[in-house]
Structure 1
């Protein structure tokens, strides 16, 4: 499935490249107007690169010329301007976010999505707020048309999994209130920044060529995120919903879910718990491979390493026969040293491990 998604992304990029996706086409300039996307020149950042890419996904801007300048007269001639110009006006298609008075978030511009999106938007977030659904529909797999409801789900998930990160980094919003123990230096914004010429390097090519390399790089990330969300992540939603509806058949507490196979479930679980109004789930059991089942503690959030209720603390770091003896449960394979996941050779054994952990103090 992952290879199929990567292949779809590569085919999309190749097709669009052949049709001047990453640059302006002047072949018919004598007969039709060439649209212009304006952004600032000099050092580029991930937010305006991503904003320009998303605009180029739209039919009206697919052949547009990207004009990189801070000359206000030249920007006035552009059909749409992002990340420069000191103006935010949707009607005039001006999308800068650097003004002192600018404090828009996705929730403030799209209140129907709820109030959970509180990070100030960058130029990428602004373009996504107004054009995101159209962009998704333009790049979505043609053999997997989205319903109105599923488009809304994918729209929110692409924002949460990609765009929100760009908004936060560009606006200097820290991930935590305290200083993190380590820094991640290989994220998309960092890779885009590395494409800028170094201060002490010999300038053998123009920075505009580096900008187009950056557009190509963000295109891979964006297209992968959309394709994965539609082709892999979204189909798992129905499985999680069914498991929630059948939770009392697994255990009387309703706190344990059973999945028949391994698939991405965490984000769906948190969304559906809220939508369906169910009690928080503590454990999931799922079939990992032949003669191997897993019991996993549900984290406090989809990306957290902290769990709602870990597996029995006496089992942490214990394996095989010793674990079976300590737990009194046959077929135990392991329990992770932090207690977030364990294994058993049978479904019954994995469920017994979940129940014993649930009932432990």
Structure 2
């Protein structure tokens, strides 16, 4: 049995429940009654205790001070992902300790850390839409109606499970090619990484500033050039041009187009894409 608090629900405990339910069905009880809490197998976001060995995951007590290396404090979502994430990824079919750790961190950085930050009041002055805001808006208009609130909570769990599944699927795709990308990155020439196949590279290159641009196959379109950050965008003279106009400026014969911001371009041949990628 999982026990979490009653009343209004929040993204951190809803996501934590979704994680655990990926490993098997469990009864979920919403209560602040200490006797009910003591009977639980897993306690989330209530109870005033953090002890992963006994599966207690609350973060509201003054004695809890854990935070990430960048200073972002943990909430229940992050604590549960840290505890169960590797097991979830293994259950989803991801193999390899290195790959699982990569995916664990990827999901935390992409979504869980933000949920924890919001729950700890880090963005209390920020009106931006967020996953936490979306989950919060799913609460019933009045928490006095227990049945109505329970129905809203169940809907939030289902909604959250879909979101989390999509993030995990993407993380697994990224993790499955990270070793391959690291090998490719050893052969960067003049800041350009050339890929023989279209691997998911965009997150990877953000942590490799030595890679300024990537040339990669785009199927029937030819070859793409993708730039790693605004400082590496293609030259102004290419931007916003297509076909003949772009070929006239570049001296090429098969350039297709360059985005008006300069963050990417497409050419028919590998040689032309390499030329654009190395242009200053």
Normalised TM-score (structure 1):
0.69
Q: CA contact under 8 A between 1:291 and 1:346: conserved in structure 2?
A: no
Partners of 1:95 and 1:235 lie apart in 2 by: 30
**Structure 1 runs (4+) greater than 6 angstroms displaced:** none
Q: CA contact under 8 A between 2:205 and 2:228: conserved in structure 1?
A: no
Partners of 2:154 and 2:138 lie apart in 1 by: 10
3-state SS of the aligned residue for 1:220?
helix
Partners of 1:135 and 1:291 lie apart in 2 by: 37
Q: CA contact under 8 A between 1:257 and 1:285: conserved in structure 2?
A: yes
From 41, 45, 65, the equivalent of 1:83 is 45
What does residue 111 of structure 1 align with?
none
CA drift of 1:282 comes to: 1.0
Partners of 1:198 and 1:94 lie apart in 2 by: 30
Q: CA contact under 8 A between 2:224 and 2:265: conserved in structure 1?
A: yes
CA drift of 1:135 comes to: 2.6
What does residue 183 of structure 2 align with?
242
3-state SS of the aligned residue for 1:268?
helix
Aligned CA distance change for structure 1 residues 280 and 146 (closer, same or farther; 3 Å): same
Aligned CA distance change for structure 1 residues 214 and 280 (closer, same or farther; 3 Å): same
What does residue 349 of structure 1 align with?
272
Corresponding residue pairs, total: 280
3-state SS of the aligned residue for 1:218?
helix
From 183, 200, 220, the equivalent of 2:162 is 220
From 194, 202, 206, the equivalent of 2:137 is 194
Q: CA contact under 8 A between 1:188 and 1:218: conserved in structure 2?
A: no
Give ranges in structure 1 of 5+ residues lacking alignment: 1-35, 108-114, 274-278, 300-306
From 37, 60, 74, the equivalent of 2:36 is 74
What does residue 55 of structure 1 align with?
20
3-state SS of the aligned residue for 2:2?
strand
CA drift of 1:149 comes to: 1.9
Partners of 2:161 and 2:48 lie apart in 1 by: 26
Aligned CA distance change for structure 1 residues 86 and 291 (closer, same or farther; 3 Å): closer
Partners of 1:101 and 1:205 lie apart in 2 by: 34
Partners of 1:165 and 1:104 lie apart in 2 by: 15
Instruction: Say what the alpha-carbon RMSD is for the aligned residues.
Output: 2.7
Deviations 1:216-249 (Å, cap 9, x if unpaired)?
Answer: 222222222223322x32333244223223334x
Q: Residue 44 in 1 paired to residue 6 in 2?
A: no
Q: Residue 161 in 1 paired to residue 103 in 2?
A: no
CA drift of 1:311 comes to: 0.7
Partners of 2:268 and 2:2 lie apart in 1 by: 58
